[in-house]
């Protein structure tokens, strides 16, 4: 009952805020997409309302009616080309009936990503967007992380997540969230918000590691190295990493480290049983099948997200790994689904995300007033880096959070470049204004420009 009242209160608040404009409707949509109240409630009364579709339409049409300037960029163009290619692949797929509904869901994600590029047009809106994503995903994750750390230290937490899926997907999603929380801890305007973000980050780190996902473990290490490399104060960064490590590593039992040591094992033994499906041998088999699919249909693949249903027709193991399998890799998953052009577009999209984040951080160094934008660019870059590492071992190519991070990488780059352009234009105008003032005997005042008094 309390959960239902809590969700109803948020729904009512979100509907009321959505009346203020399309951006607030977008925030409400993001909460719904990441929090997934239907999975959180004891009694699901949300699914039948189809709020996601309804709210998505509200966001789109309210944006169009508001007169917001549509933003175009290399990132948005690549997304549209990728979406078009996946549509063609789906239309000519032998597994059209299976693939089509999944493509429709993906198309909604891309449309919202394009809307994000348009509506998130200020630094404050960017911070709010990251904050809503963090709260929506972290609400349950922080509780589970800290509860496990205190009450059941070292115990595996393999609870699935409605957005991220199984333990491997959860690990990737949690560590992407850590990058966002660290940024919020540095850019939030109030002290309690910064402290809460740091507290949440520790819980989410443990939530990710307690999945016992080896891909998550590698992603955690990469994220720590990225944070240290990007920190201006290396000693402080190293101390922060050491503090979190000292809080978590001692409680991880021998069984955790034994599982991490099986990363390169040909056959993994779990609970006394050989588990080839979870081993490198199993993943190599699935990747070979993905290559076989792409070799047979090099330009269009087997269809959007159709690897699972097509697997049995390409399997050479006589069913050793089952009949309905995933590619266990975002890269090989795209290759199988959309062929070589699809994989090339996917790589270009991610490369563009890194390019924009790197450029935003470089430009932000020119002006201390841009440091918060630089920190948010660093967070998005860290989330993409986690995705590239962790996503290499789980089929997350259509993960909604990943596509939203790509959209936000475009946003933060645009915001930094716009601010830098304005700053660079002001000094160019000053000599002319100062000369005019001198010619008129100092009897004019120029709004927004300060001239030093004559000595």
Q: Mean pLDDT for each consecutive 10-residue tract of the chain (455 residues)?
A: 85 90 95 90 77 89 87 93 98 97 96 96 96 96 95 92 93 97 95 96 96 94 95 91 94 92 60 51 91 97 96 88 88 97 98 96 91 96 97 94 97 94 62 45 45 44
pLDDT of the residue at 277: 47
Predicted pLDDT of residue 49 = 77
The answer to whether residues 378 and 229 belong to one domain is yes
| Single residue among 68, 95, 115 that ends a domain in this structure | 68
Whether residues 258 and 273 share a domain: the answer is yes
227 neighbors 239 (Cβ within 8 angstroms):
no
> Is there a domain that residue 443 lies in?
no
Do 156 and 30 lie in a common domain? Answer: no
pLDDT (0 to 100) of residue 1: 75
The pLDDT of residue 265: 56
Cross-strand partners of 269: 274
Q: Are residues 24 and 161 in the same domain?
A: no
Residue 409 shares a structural domain with residue 325: yes
Within 13 Å of residue 53, how many CA atoms lie on the same side as its CB?
A: 7
The whole domain housing 57 covers 1-68
| Residue 175 and residue 90 share a domain | yes
Tell me how many domains the chain contains.
2
* 54 and 92 in a common domain: no
Check whether residue 45 and residue 133 sit in a common domain: no
- H or E element at residue 274: strand 273-275
Given this model, what pLDDT does residue 279 score? 64
Please check whether residue 416 lies inside any domain of the structure. Answer: yes
| pLDDT (0 to 100) of residue 317 | 85
- Say how far apart CA 298 and CA 45 lie, in whole Å: 44
Residue 426: predicted pLDDT: 61
Residues 293 and 369 in one domain: yes
Residues 85 and 194 in one domain: yes
Query: Is residue 76 within 8 Å of residue 117, measured between CB atoms?
Result: yes
- Residue after which a domain boundary falls, among 33, 48, 68: 68
Report the C-alpha gap between 212 and 314 in whole angstroms: 30
pLDDT score recorded for residue 205: 97
pTM of the model: 0.89
Residue 437 lies in a domain: no
Single out the residue of 187, 141, 193, 217 nearest to residue 377, CA to CA: 187
* Residues 270 and 194 both lie in one domain: yes
Residue 182 placed within a domain: yes
Note whether 300 and 251 are same-domain residues: yes
In the block, residue with structure tokens 């984040």: 357
């Amino acid at each position: 009952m309390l959960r239902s009242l809590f969700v109803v209160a948020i729904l009512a608040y979100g509907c009321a805020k959505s009346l203020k404009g399309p951006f607030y409707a977008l925030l409400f949509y993001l909460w719904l997409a990441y929090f997934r109240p239907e999975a959180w409630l004891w009694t699901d009364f949300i699914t039948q309302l189809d709020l996601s579709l309804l709210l998505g339409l509200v966001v789109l049409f309210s944006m169009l009616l508001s007169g917001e300037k549509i933003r175009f960029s290399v990132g948005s163009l690549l997304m549209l080309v990728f979406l078009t290619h996946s549509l063609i692949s789906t239309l000519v797929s032998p597994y059209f009936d299976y693939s089509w509904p999944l493509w429709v869901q993906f198309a909604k994600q891309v449309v919202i990503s394009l809307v994000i590029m348009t509506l998130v047009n200020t630094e404050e809106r960017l911070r709010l967007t990251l904050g809503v994503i963090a709260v929506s995903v972290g609400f349950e994750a922080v509780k589970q992380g800290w509860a496990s750390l205190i009450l059941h230290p070292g115990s595996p937490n393999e609870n699935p997540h409605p957005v991220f899926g199984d333990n491997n997907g959860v690990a990737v999603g949690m560590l992407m969230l850590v990058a966002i929380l660290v940024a919020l801890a540095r850019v939030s305007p109030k002290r309690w918000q910064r402290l809460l973000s740091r507290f949440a980050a520790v819980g989410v780190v443990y939530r990710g590691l307690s999945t016992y996902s080896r891909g998550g473990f590698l992603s955690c290490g990469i994220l720590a190295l990225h944070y240290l490399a990007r920190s201006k104060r290396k000693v402080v960064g190293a101390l922060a990493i050491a503090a979190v490590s000292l809080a978590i590593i001692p409680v991880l039992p021998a069984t955790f480290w034994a599982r991490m040591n099986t990363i390169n094992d040909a056959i993994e033994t779990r609970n006394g049983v050989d588990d080839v499906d979870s081993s490198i041998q199993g993943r190599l088999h699935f990747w070979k099948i993905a290559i076989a699919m792409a070799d047979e249909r090099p330009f269009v693949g087997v269809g959007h997200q159709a690897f699972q249903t097509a697997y049995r027709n390409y399997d050479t193991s006589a069913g050793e790994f089952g009949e309905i399998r995933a590619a266990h890799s975002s890269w090989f998953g795209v290759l199988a689904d959309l062929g070589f052009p699809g994989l090339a577009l996917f790589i270009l999209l991610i490369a563009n995300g890194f390019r924009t984040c790197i450029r935003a951080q470089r430009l932000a160094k020119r002006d201390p007033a841009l440091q918060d934008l630089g920190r948010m660019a660093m967070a998005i870059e860290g989330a993409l880096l986690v995705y590239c590492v962790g996503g290499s071992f789980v089929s997350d190519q259509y993960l909604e959070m990943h596509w939203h991070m790509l959209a936000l990488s475009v946003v933060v780059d645009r915001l930094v470049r716009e601010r830098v352009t304005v700053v660079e234009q002001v000094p160019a105008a000053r000599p002319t204004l100062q000369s005019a003032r001198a010619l008129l005997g100092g009897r004019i005042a120029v709004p927004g420009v300060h001239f030093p008094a004559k000595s």
